[in-house]
């Protein structure tokens, strides 16, 4: 893990859920027996994790996608997709390589594989998520070298100065505690553009802004603060801003009581996606 002590949270969550199912086999059985349509998004995500644990990676990915669609509104899904399409469109003819930061399950990576022709490097602090999600879903692309999986910390990237023509991230920059170190590190390695897709809440939405701060992400969900930070670190920023929509806290598990999906927002609010185009 790039020689630092940060934990692989995906692996920890996996172990936590495995322990829960060991102690509560009835919950695992209830998930298995339930019709997927009858489960709420958080429970369906737990069912997907159960499949993942059993090595049924493709089924797990499909189930997770269904859970994701259950957790968000049509507008959220449409606006999210529009930003990913925008980034893939911008990078359609980029010779690459394109390096995606904090790739997670790879919603943006998947879009880039479809819409751009450059080789893509997916990175994440968690080797587990890269191997079990992207590696399992795109074996041909990893085999051919079109997709490289590089576990690493975004605050200490294993790339030389000014070596990456295009950097991307989808809800990555905002989810890495202490974003300034990441922003400076991205600036160091980038020789072209950074496309950072973010979700924002209004400045005066105190409850959600404070909840983000409690997660170790102060200011990350404020467009003006995050843009200001990027500019102070030497980037010129042009926002590609989507339409605002109302959004609610995501559901909590019933079959797996207390299982969450998305930590934000904590109360209903207005939100919007913006891709910060940084040079
Ligand atoms: C919301 S997910 C990203 C979603 C993803 N980009 C996509 O397109 O589906 C946030 C990711 O940030 C990763 N992460 C957190 N801290 C990190 C760090 N210091 N360096 C790299 N990745 C990190 C987490 O492991 C997680 O996979």
CB 249 within 8 A of CB 265: yes
Residue of 110, 124, 133, 179 with the most ligand 1 atoms within 8 Å of its CB, for mutation: 124
Determine what percent of the chain is predicted with pLDDT higher than 70. Answer: 98
What is the model's pTM? 0.94
CA-closest residue to ligand 1 atom 15: 176
Distance, CA of 239 to chain centre: 19
Given this model, what pLDDT does residue 224 score?
97
| CB of 133 shorter than 6 A to ligand 1 | no
Give me the pLDDT at residue 4, please. Answer: 44
Instruction: Single out the residue of 162, 170, 164, 171 nearest to residue 148, CA to CA.
Output: 164
CA distances from 89 to 49, 116, 126, 143 (A): 32, 7, 28, 25
Decide: 174 in ligand 1 pocket, CB within 6 A.
no
Q: pLDDT higher for 14 or 159? A: 159
Beta bridge partners of 271: 245
Q: Is 4 in the pocket of ligand 1 (CB under 6 A)?
A: no
Closest by CA to 126, choosing from 48, 13, 216, 214, is 13
Q: Ligand 1 pocket, 126 CB below 6 A? A: yes
Q: Average per-residue pLDDT in the chain? A: 94
pLDDT digits over 105-154, tens only?
Answer: 999 999 999 999 999 999 999 999 999 999 999 999 999 999 999 999 99
**Cβ of 222: how many Cβ atoms within 10 Å?**
20
Mutate which of 9, 68, 175 for ligand 1? The one with the most ligand atoms within 8 Å of its CB, which is: 175
Whether residue 5 is predicted with pLDDT greater than 60 in this model: the reply is no
State the Cα–Cα distance between residues 56 and 48, nearest whole angstrom: 9
Low-confidence winner among 5-19, 49-63, 138-152, 173-187 (lowest mean pLDDT): 5-19
Cβ of 155 below 6 Å from ligand 1: yes
C-beta of 9 in contact with ligand 1 (< 6 A): yes
Higher pLDDT, 21 or 248: 248
Q: Which protein residue has the closest C-alpha to ligand 1 atom 12? A: 102
Q: Where do we find the tokens 């009835």?
A: 26
> Can you give the pLDDT at residue 190?
97
Ligand 1 atom closest to 182 (CA):
19
Pick from 17, 2, 15, 20: which is nearest to 126 by CA?
A: 2
Asked if residue 3 has pLDDT above 70, the reply is no
Is 2's pLDDT higher than 60?
A: no
Torsion of CA 208, 175, 120, 149, to 10 degrees: -140
Read off the pLDDT of residues 26-45 as tens digits, 9 standing for 90 and up: 999 999 999 999 999 999 99
CB atoms within 10 A of CB 35: 6
CA of 26 to the centre of ligand 1 (A): 32
- How, if at all, do strands 98-101 and 190-200 pair? unpaired
How far, in Å, are 27, 39, 118, 181 from residue 21 at the CA level? 7, 17, 41, 37
- The per-residue pLDDT for 10 is 80
Largest CA distance in the chain: 54
Domains of the chain, first to last: 9-71 (no CATH), 74-278 (3.40.50.150)
Contacts of residue 139, defined as CB under 8 A and 6 or more positions apart, other chains included, come to none
| DSSP type of residue 154 | T
Cα–Cα distance for residue pair 72/181, rounded to 1 Å:
31
Residue 170 CB–ligand 1 contact under 6 Å: yes
Our answer on whether the CB atom of 124 is closer than 6 Å to any ligand 1 atom is yes
């Amino acid at each position: 893990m790039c020689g630092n002590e940060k934990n692989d949270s995906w692996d920890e969550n996996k172990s936590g859920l495995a322990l829960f199912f060991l102690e509560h086999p009835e919950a695992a059985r209830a998930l298995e027996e339930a019709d997927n349509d009858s489960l709420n998004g958080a429970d369906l995500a737990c069912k997907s994790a159960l499949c993942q644990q059993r090595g049924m990676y493709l089924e797990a990915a499909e189930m997770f996608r269904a859970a994701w669609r259950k957790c968000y509104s049509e507008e959220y899904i449409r606006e999210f997709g529009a930003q990913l399409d925008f980034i893939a469109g911008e990078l359609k003819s980029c010779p690459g390589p394109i390096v995606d930061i904090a790739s997670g399950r790879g919603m943006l990576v998947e879009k880039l594989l479809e819409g751009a022709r450059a080789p893509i490097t997916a990175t994440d602090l968690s080797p587990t998520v890269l191997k079990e999600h992207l590696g399992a879903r795109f074996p041909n692309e990893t085999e051919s070298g079109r997709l490289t999986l590089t576990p690493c910390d975004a605050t200490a990237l294993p790339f030389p100065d000014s070596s990456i023509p295009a950097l991307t991230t989808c809800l990555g920059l905002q989810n890495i505690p202490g974003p300034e170190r990441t922003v400076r590190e991205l600036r160091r390695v980038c020789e072209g553009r950074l496309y950072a897709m973010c979700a924002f809440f209004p400045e005066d939405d105190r409850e959600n802004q404070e909840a983000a701060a409690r997660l170790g992400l102060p200011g990350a969900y404020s467009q003006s603060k995050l843009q200001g930070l990027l500019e102070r670190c030497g980037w010129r920023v042009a926002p590609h801003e989507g339409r605002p929509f109302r959004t609610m806290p995501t559901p909590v598990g019933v079959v797996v009581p207390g299982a969450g999906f998305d930590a934000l927002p904590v109360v209903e609010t207005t939100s919007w996606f913006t891709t910060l185009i940084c040079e």
